[in-house]
Structure 1
């Protein structure tokens, strides 16, 4: 029976019995204190606890779940999976134990041909809470179970509560007996893998208080409305019904495992360690696919870090199977095909999902290449030294310099039988964070304690008038100096000023703060920054240019009109480029960040490869055509749900209220949620000039553009350069590329001929230098100054040629010269000289010390240098003296 069939039979069974079929909630939990949906009942908790009235009396679902607390156990046991599906049926004060037990037994034991799961009742056991005589009686009456297959267990396994005062109740669990070949007899109470739990029924019937632990609390009475919460593990039933050994071998997971085996050339079932790795890959790839289908992207924090860890563990496992190259294109495609029958969105969004996954793999493969070499060497050194601990500074170096995750370092060290000095690592991490805090220059706010703003925020929200006005008269509500409220600020001081209204835009949505002034009777303030330190409040960081500003004074905000015009051009230009990007690259090119100020914008977007010059030119052309077409820019405020129905794009990382501002440029061509300031028509943008495209991560790119007058000035500067070149080279503009290419080719040819000439000249010097060889002790020695030398490479080549011509008797060659005004000395020895005790590295260090520098190398060839060209004769004498010694 296919997993998708098991899923559908569940929904059909309970749907036919009056249950509302509820779609799976997202894996991303709505609860801000929890990252993921970890159980099937999570979306129904408000109804089960009575916090919110249930919209239906009974419900059923197949809920997607993620649990990562046992990630190290994945692949080692038959039941640990990161992603899993929980089939549930729920009653909110409707039916209770009798019906819940009846439904479970009916669905499990009804033949497959009649829509059930077809389990043989003789293979099923149940456990109940030890004092729940009612459940025991119902199991005997409804299922006909004998006493020996009903086991009473204590609160630690068969009693449910939230861990807090509120609803609670006994549980009853259904187990499948896999048979004596899987373990000992004795039922689920033995806690043996032979008995697989497939269904848990929670009878929520009591109110508890004074909760001291999971098993210690006071039952204070029965609930007025009793609820049912049940869950059946879809993957567990699937591996039992499909006759395989574990959840990794079911039809939704096995295709990835098989593909990993094919790619590695290993056979599943031949080696335990390889089997574990293949199961890890199969689980993690599927889990990653499902997380990404719900919008999670790889990052270094929160959910994104969990996803990144799953992806990187998959890459690591494939490398341990002997595959060093990229495998995600094969593995993710296999997982997509296996999961899409149950979750069509996986197929629909696969272009976006695969783009992010492949980019993450590519980046991590580079990280592994750099970090693994260092880590392997450190492991070897630790073992040779007899240590069972890997130094914390090594782990920190890998993390800080190479991006090697600490959890991966821990895993690799553990595989080698070592533990990591985690305490030292944590200390170094803490020191780094402290340095980062000390070095950060936070221009946004000089107040660390945001509570200083609470008094001002209590007076109401700051009203922003800047959408329609460039000057606004208001009242000073508060002044902050050095983090504390004051009643006035004087000339020369830096302060924060809070006003009731302002025309000055506070930095947000990627748009930089306005420039401008705040003036009043007897004072003038220069605005340095405008921010929103707390929601609803705008703070102006100012320098008091003259006079004294005090609380309750009348003040007028004045926006720098030229700067605001440029900022509006840049922000609207950002929207235009975003629309052009999506027109060329498709909907997967989604904005992930932006920054714009007068004359300049940058836009980050999801994409995992560089854009060609032709593509950038096309994007630039579409953008400027939109400017030429003088598209109307319309801003509207509306409820968030209405805006989304219109197709307005919400940008990643931005938070929106119930009422949002929608900015249209050319109608639906560009429709985004945005609180920034914008032009009235696209022609006001003036011009867009894309000046750069670069990477900002494995799955994100960045384009930068000049806008308006700045764009024109940049193009004018390039035009001036072209004019100068056409004049100097006496070549028409359209022929410049070919002319410059010819000049470059000619220069390269000339350089090649010069090198050939220099090589011949060097070769011609070899005989005369050989003739200058003198006897020093037991060596034939050539020690000469060559004056000016083209390069150290030329010196090295000459030294080696002379050495080779000196024959087999002990010989040492030391040649020195001035390269770009700095002294360089090269020393070479032949094998006979080294046997006699001469060491090139030692000799060159002696000479370099005379030159005022340093050097080093091997015994046969070494190089040194210094500061004093005039000391070259003395340095060569030092080499000769060293040989005499």
Structure 2
């Protein structure tokens, strides 16, 4: 019996569930908290944090069928049998659990044992140095050595920038001579004979910023099996497009076109492009992406407009694509219920976008044809970048679409010229926006002032007070000559002890004092390279040319100095404890705390944090002398000075040394000796981006204040536990034991109550189309108790469907169960509970016989129960 695509997907998930994997639903196409990705483009993408250790997976073995979008080779979509913009990636993943042997053996077992593929047709590629993989394939699996090919890094080593990476092994399937480009076609040919089916990635290294491949402490497995490709093999069809994932779409198009699918290669490509693209569009809009002129929205607009153009090739009336949305929903809506829920909205969005594009398409096509005709008359081969940009900017033609049409006619476009025109337009747009921003006028004014005065002298490294003259006053983007009490403005002095914010260190605060004058300095910033003091006049009058005394708030400056020097010590301690790959990628130094961002690929253990904190405090107790050197950049590098992550340096640089422990280029203020820091305490550590961690810490009195606060909490906890502070751990252990015992008693009581209620619920069962349905909302049961009640009902129910819901802490818990006889008839608890959970604002899933879910809208349970009835009626 030929398997359907849906059956292939389910068999894969069931197989790996039997191998101890947690089956999770597909993540949305839009990445969550991952700015490095435009789309989820691989099965492993939602699990990046698990692979690099930033997060803990719910289980060390996971399997999914993941929705993916890739457009890097969109021009091949329709031309080949296997390229798609949207596809499903079947994957099994191990996070520090099993490794190569299990991954290879299970892949073989699934393809041969479950899918009944002929192992004599297998060709295996491995990384050239991966002898272990060769041994498993050849000696344990039994693949002949001549069908195991070693390829180099470009083909069989998986990495995307820095981070987890490793060799991979690909399973290819020989489709037969009839699929090849010639009778003597060899493995490795780009034709469709040898179809890559499954890629097994052995993630065993971490690629550092320095280009080193360091072994990961926990080795991982990441595999990707193309659902469409495998289905095409199993269904014995010419290409992925002849599978049941695409043929209903193609048949729907045929009903409206005078050109049959197989009538010509041009028609076939048009059918395939439309069928592929409408799937991408439907699934992407279902996940919340709307057509736009940038980002993901631009990708969808580009795909949609490409499909519209190919609809024109088939002479389909416009708008047309929106009519295919229902076909996609019919094929995929039971698995990806979000498109079923949003079907009408998706149709509307697609139709509106088609109409909008159609309005400009005809004009743009006429212009493009004229351009191509002009090339023919002048023997030119390239459409200029400015003309390509005009088509894009005025007529909505994506650059890629113009390039594709030109290529079909034997011409090309000026890519560099287009990018230059695009950059100019973006610059114009930015300039136009800035014209309406207050900062623009102010910035221009300070640039002008910089030309009029000598650069102010900074004397703040050794002084917190200086006599100065008021050179300039700027209030509300205008230069003024005086300020009265209550006025706020920027003031420039001829010399100043105030440090302007830079290098992560905040600007100083303080006062300006004069005859009858008191003005508070609330901030100090660089304005067009001038040190500018943000001043509020408290009393008196501040005038141009006045002689004043500038006083930095000394206690605050001292706290800032402590924290800045502490960041240098922290930086060096991080490199000593974690490795030389650590580099600063950001910082904030203020009076009350410090923040330090650094490159590292995993969260820090409590032992590592303790070691770092201990090392910094040791250097503080050593009371290292701080030395400041003014030298050349070359000499600084010879001293081993570490440069800050975002600074550019001239030839003369400032080097700050803390004894022989730390040497850094830095323009900030520092203590004279590390002992002034007094105490260093880490208060938080976490990830802020891929490969970037952040530590927050306090020093001096703020560290002591935190320790005292923690001690007070400890005393309060001890008091509540009626114990001495040193007895808290033992007391807590005892309380936890008591809690566990009480929980056991509660569980036993709940089980007893569930069993009693189960009998009552059976008397209230209803019948729909001959199917027994037990459905009830019970109060106050947690997930475990709800499952227990379901099991009790199921044991007493000969045949039927069970759906139980509990409203616990204003959240919904759902459990669905299906008896074995109904599972064989196609009823699926996972699909039922997933569909119902969406009604109550949640999600979930599970096995065909038992599944659970959650939601946030208990007030919609009545509607959810009606949905259950509809599902059974429709089955």
TM-score (norm 1): 0.50
Cα drift, residue 797 of structure 1: 4.5
Does 1:767 pair with 2:759? Answer: yes
Alignment CA distance shift 1:517-1:846 (3 Å)? same
Does 1:710 pair with 2:702? Answer: yes
Contact 1:494 1:544 in 2 (8 A): yes
Does 1:509 pair with 2:509? Answer: no
Q: Which residue pairs with 1:737 in the alignment?
A: 729
Q: Which residue pairs with 2:152 in the alignment?
A: 278
Q: Which residue pairs with 1:802 in the alignment?
A: 793
Of residues 654, 667, 671, the one that matches 1:661 is 654
Of residues 487, 496, 501, the one that matches 2:490 is 496
Cα drift, residue 567 of structure 1: 0.2
d(CA) in 2 for partners of 1:706, 1:469 = 25
Q: Which moved more, 1:711-720 or 1:483-492?
A: 483-492
Contact 1:260 1:281 in 2 (8 A): no
Of residues 210, 215, 220, the one that matches 1:353 is 210
d(CA) in 2 for partners of 1:865, 1:310 = 38
Of residues 594, 598, 615, the one that matches 1:622 is 615
CA deviations on 1:525-560 (whole Å, 9 max, x unpaired) are 44343222434x222334455666554444543312
* 1:557-568 equivalent positions in 2, closer than 5 A: 557-568=550-561
CA deviations on 1:167-193 (whole Å, 9 max, x unpaired) are xxxxxxxxxxxxxxxxxxxxxxxxxxx
d(CA) in 1 for partners of 2:511, 2:478 = 23
d(CA) in 1 for partners of 2:209, 2:546 = 54
d(CA) in 1 for partners of 2:642, 2:826 = 76
Q: Secondary structure at the match of 1:616?
A: helix
Q: Which residue pairs with 2:203 in the alignment?
A: 326
CA deviations on 1:320-379 (whole Å, 9 max, x unpaired) are 8834122557xx8xxxxxxxxxxxxxxxxxx97355x559x999999x8899999999x9
Q: Report the structure number with the largest CA radius of gyration.
A: 1
Q: Secondary structure at the match of 1:737?
A: helix
d(CA) in 2 for partners of 1:884, 1:394 = 27
Alignment CA distance shift 1:315-1:372 (3 Å)? farther
Cα drift, residue 318 of structure 1: 8.0
Contact 1:278 1:317 in 2 (8 A): no
Cα drift, residue 770 of structure 1: 3.1
d(CA) in 2 for partners of 1:280, 1:714 = 52
Q: Secondary structure at the match of 1:538?
A: strand
Q: Which residue pairs with 2:528 in the alignment?
A: 534
Q: Which residue pairs with 1:726 in the alignment?
A: 718
CA deviations on 1:179-228 (whole Å, 9 max, x unpaired) are xxxxxxxxxxxxxxxxxxxxxxxxxxxxxxxxxxxxxxxxxxxxxxxxxx
Contact 2:199 2:223 in 1 (8 A): no
Does 1:758 pair with 2:750? Answer: yes
Cα drift, residue 507 of structure 1: 1.3
Cα drift, residue 606 of structure 1: 4.0
d(CA) in 1 for partners of 2:467, 2:229 = 64
d(CA) in 2 for partners of 1:514, 1:325 = 52
Contact 1:627 1:687 in 2 (8 A): yes
Cα drift, residue 657 of structure 1: 2.7
CA deviations on 1:494-517 (whole Å, 9 max, x unpaired) are 543333222111112221111223
Does 1:686 pair with 2:556? Answer: no
Contact 2:501 2:507 in 1 (8 A): yes
d(CA) in 2 for partners of 1:376, 1:497 = 71
Alignment CA distance shift 1:866-1:502 (3 Å)? closer
Does 1:387 pair with 2:273? Answer: yes
Q: Which residue pairs with 2:191 in the alignment?
A: none
Cα drift, residue 732 of structure 1: 3.7
* 1:136-215 equivalent positions in 2, closer than 5 A: none
* 1:308-319 equivalent positions in 2, closer than 5 A: none
Structure 1: where are the runs of 5+ without partners?
1-70, 73-255, 286-306, 333-350
Contact 2:466 2:497 in 1 (8 A): yes
Q: Which residue pairs with 2:190 in the alignment?
A: none
Does 1:633 pair with 2:654? Answer: no
Q: Secondary structure at the match of 2:210?
A: helix
Question: What do you get for the CA RMSD once the two structures are aligned?
Answer: 6.3
d(CA) in 1 for partners of 2:491, 2:567 = 30
Alignment CA distance shift 1:773-1:591 (3 Å)? closer
d(CA) in 1 for partners of 2:810, 2:818 = 26
Cα drift, residue 729 of structure 1: 2.5
d(CA) in 2 for partners of 1:846, 1:648 = 60
* 1:349-748 equivalent positions in 2, closer than 5 A: 353-354=210-211, 385=249, 386-387=272-273, 446-447=439-440, 450-458=443-451, 459-483=453-477, 485-487=479-481, 494-520=488-514, 524-535=518-529, 537-543=530-536, 549=542, 551-585=544-578, 587-666=580-659, 668-748=660-740
Q: Secondary structure at the match of 2:467?
A: strand
Structure 2: where are the runs of 5+ without partners?
1-71, 74-125, 139-144, 172-195, 232-239, 250-271, 311-396, 402-417
d(CA) in 1 for partners of 2:640, 2:836 = 75
Contact 1:474 1:556 in 2 (8 A): yes
TM-score (norm 2): 0.50
- The number of residue pairs the alignment matches comes to 558
Contact 1:471 1:556 in 2 (8 A): yes
d(CA) in 1 for partners of 2:711, 2:510 = 34
Q: Secondary structure at the match of 1:324?
A: strand
Cα drift, residue 614 of structure 1: 2.7
Q: Secondary structure at the match of 2:551?
A: strand
Q: Secondary structure at the match of 1:611?
A: coil
Q: Which moved more, 1:627-636 or 1:701-710?
A: 627-636
Q: Which residue pairs with 1:220 in the alignment?
A: none
Cα drift, residue 632 of structure 1: 2.2
